[in-house]
Structure 1
Amino acid sequence: MHLSILDQVPIPKGQTASETLLQSAELAKLAEQWGYKRYWFAEHHSTKGLASTAPEIMMAHIAARTRTIRVGSGGVLLPQYSPFKVAETFLQLEALYPGRIDLGVGRSPGGTMKTRLALTDSIKKSMTQYPRQLLDLTYYLSGSLPSDHPYYGIKASPSVPSPPPVWELGLGENSALQAASLGIGYVFGHFIHPDRGQEAYKAYYSNFAPSPLLKQPAGITAIFVICGESDEHAAELALSQDLWLLRVEKGLDSRIPSLEEAHAYSFSQADREKIKINRKRMVIGSSQTVKRQLESLAERYQTNEFMVLTNLHSFEERKKSYEKLADIFL
């Protein structure tokens, strides 16, 4: 089993963005010591609760402070950007840190329509262009623009011995089929929508076509995990994440609340039902429980790598959870 980390850089209430970013650097160095394979950064905009707005900058920051762990984006919001610019940014990173860069991309709009327009400087870019953009991205990275392409003759630079691998982030069969047809890696977002994982991976593995970027299919499952001293301890820790998710989904305060605030919060019956649904996006429990559930999920999905999110208010508890998880598998 391989383990990786997806860091949204969640800001706990009472803490600044700068303090949280320092903790991400500490966690990345610890993750390398514990044997984690990758450390990726998400991309979120116009929110006060998540401090990772520019994964490329965070990647360079972390790669400079570590030696072996792969660093990546989870993921670049490709519909808002130029595939050529994204390709050159990641080739630049690959030239700086050879063999350690991953390019994860997704079709998420990145926020409200107003946020999307701010990202594109008021250019209304259609989400339907995403498949073409992703194809162009693979062309630029592999130096294989076809002769009938409007930008044929352009070379993305700098030149590197091997381009960084591309991973598509998705939630079902459509994204899985797209990743398979392009011959790139696939990351299933179990932590967002857990219901279509088995179907998505079946579609991906059955239809994968080798490419200059990837010869064999490769799948990663992104999932919330909280590993505690016992099932009861883990469930207690999860309360702050439960309340955080409720508020994020309602468009409210996106900072991580403390356990004290979560205990004092008056959950409605609808809130409790939503928490029950959200818990399907997570694995929560003791080392034994987490091991059993992740192994079962790995068997069901036919994948051997989990990319873990643990969004707790306490940084110490967050570190302990990641360390206990590493002790199980690494």
Structure 2
Amino acid sequence: MGIKLSLLDQSIIYEGETATSTLAKTVAFAQKAESLGFDTFFVSEHHLIKELAGASPEVLIGYLLASTKTIKVGAAGVMLQHYVPFKVAESFSVLHHLAPNRVVLGIGKAQGGKDEAVEVLQRDFVKPPQTFEEKFAELAHFIRNDFPEEHPYAASAYTLEPQIQENLAIELLGGSQESAVLATKEQAGLIYPYFGNADETALADTRHAYQAAESFKIAVIVYITDDENEAKDYLEKQASYTVVLNNGKRLNFADQATANEYANQHQAEKAQVIQRQVGAFVGSAAQVTAELLDFAERFNTEHFVIHTPGVPYDKKHEIIQALANELKGE
């Protein structure tokens, strides 16, 4: 089975860098991915986090589209809970018309930051908020102009402008059977964030529950080195921490100190910190490729989203170059 590769970049501001220099490196990384034949370059959305420069994926996507020629560019994803679906649809309609068939609208369930971000972004919400499922369905209907006749937005006065004549890819970021069922219902693609939780049983259950004809992608951390000690050191530095509150709310953090700080602030909700093993393929280019091919067969997918956190951009370039060379047999 052949495989397709896409790339996720979170515009992480490393020591000695600024938001300006980091975003410039994100652009160069997208151009490198394009030159190597990667399918899609995804960017993320995070708020009030000083280490991350990508707060506005729709703005960054527009610049990346203008800075490349052929590679698709997408959000992974827009944190829909903060926004009115209609405005998201309008933004991506414009992007789609600027670069037809090159835009991917990825949608995330998370809040993309701490509670202060939610407070600021959702300050003016007055009506009882829609559920995520309701928002996702409404967004898909606006994009496809296919509201049921009985829906109030089915009237022509609510037709999205500019209208989207060609297909605009919609994908859901989700690591649960519930996400798979929602993506199937709305005929959207599904990106499984294996990099945040290396639970193969959960992955298998989600894959089984996803029955749409669209693309099922697995997002995984990749680090390429021939040095076993270097590989071990990299894995030890990677971690995923989830804070779980007694109301079911979950927030993910990349470091234990930040997770503990948040949990301490929410002791009234009986916050618990759970450490999870990250989903990572680490080793030589041949070893990583073999693991990707194994996953492709076992989980019935041909598409992976490569994530390279915790390394400077020159190393990121080396990783995707080595991976591309291996897949091409060079």
**TM-score category (smaller protein):** 0.7 to 0.9
Is 2:247 the counterpart of 1:245? no
Tell me the distance in 2 between the aligned counterparts of 1:248 and 1:42. Answer: 22
Q: Using the TM superposition, give the Cα deviation of residue 315 of structure 1 relative to its aligned residue in structure 2, in angstroms.
A: 1.9
| Distance 1:187-1:125 versus aligned 2 partners, 3 A rule | farther
Q: Which residue of 2 aligns with 1:110?
A: 112
Which consecutive residues of structure 2, in runs of 5 or more, have no partner in the other structure? 241-252, 262-273
Q: Using the TM superposition, give the Cα deviation of residue 29 of structure 1 relative to its aligned residue in structure 2, in angstroms.
A: 0.4
Q: Tell me which amino acid in the other structure corresponds to 2:220.
A: I
How many residues of Structure 1 are paired with residues of Structure 2 in the alignment?
A: 299
Q: Using the TM superposition, give the Cα deviation of residue 128 of structure 1 relative to its aligned residue in structure 2, in angstroms.
A: 6.1
Tell me the distance in 1 between the aligned counterparts of 2:128 and 2:188. Answer: 23
Q: Which residue of 1 aligns with 2:146?
A: 144
Percent identity at matched positions? 28
Which shifted more, 291-300 or 125-134?
Answer: 125-134
Aligned match for 2:28, one of 26, 46, 57:
26
Task: Note the alpha carbon deviations across 1:272-306, whole angstroms, 9 max, x for none.
Answer: x95xx53x421111112211222222222111111
Q: Which residue of 2 aligns with 1:175?
A: 179
Q: Which residue of 2 aligns with 1:257?
A: none
Aligned match for 1:56, one of 58, 76, 88:
58
Tell me the distance in 2 between the aligned counterparts of 1:81 and 1:42. Answer: 15
Q: Which residue of 1 aligns with 2:295?
A: 297
Q: Which residue of 1 aligns with 2:41?
A: 39
Q: Contact 1:169–1:189 at 8 Å: present in 2 too?
A: yes
Tell me the distance in 2 between the aligned counterparts of 1:66 and 1:327. Answer: 21
| Distance 1:57-1:292 versus aligned 2 partners, 3 A rule | same
Aligned match for 2:101, one of 71, 95, 99:
99
Q: Tell me which amino acid in the other structure corresponds to 1:221.
A: I
| Distance 1:289-1:161 versus aligned 2 partners, 3 A rule | same
Tell me the distance in 2 between the aligned counterparts of 1:17 and 1:52. Answer: 9
Tell me the distance in 2 between the aligned counterparts of 1:36 and 1:162. Answer: 22
Q: Using the TM superposition, give the Cα deviation of residue 236 of structure 1 relative to its aligned residue in structure 2, in angstroms.
A: 3.8
Q: Which residue of 2 aligns with 1:324?
A: 322
Tell me the distance in 2 between the aligned counterparts of 1:183 and 1:248. Answer: 39
Which consecutive residues of structure 1, in runs of 5 or more, have no partner in the other structure? 209-215, 253-272
Aligned match for 1:88, one of 87, 90, 95:
90
Which shifted more, 60-69 or 308-317?
Answer: 308-317
Q: Using the TM superposition, give the Cα deviation of residue 13 of structure 1 relative to its aligned residue in structure 2, in angstroms.
A: 1.5
Q: Which residue of 2 aligns with 1:204?
A: 210
Please report the RMSD computed on the Cα atoms of aligned residues, expressed in angstroms. 2.3
Q: Contact 1:41–1:72 at 8 Å: present in 2 too?
A: yes
Q: Which residue of 2 aligns with 1:269?
A: none
Q: Using the TM superposition, give the Cα deviation of residue 123 of structure 1 relative to its aligned residue in structure 2, in angstroms.
A: 2.2
| Distance 1:102-1:295 versus aligned 2 partners, 3 A rule | same
Tell me the distance in 2 between the aligned counterparts of 1:3 and 1:56. Answer: 22
Q: Which residue of 1 aligns with 2:232?
A: 235
Q: Contact 2:80–2:108 at 8 Å: present in 1 too?
A: yes
SS in 1 for 2:153: coil
Q: Tell me which amino acid in the other structure corresponds to 1:321.
A: I
| Distance 1:110-1:245 versus aligned 2 partners, 3 A rule | closer
SS in 2 for 1:135: helix
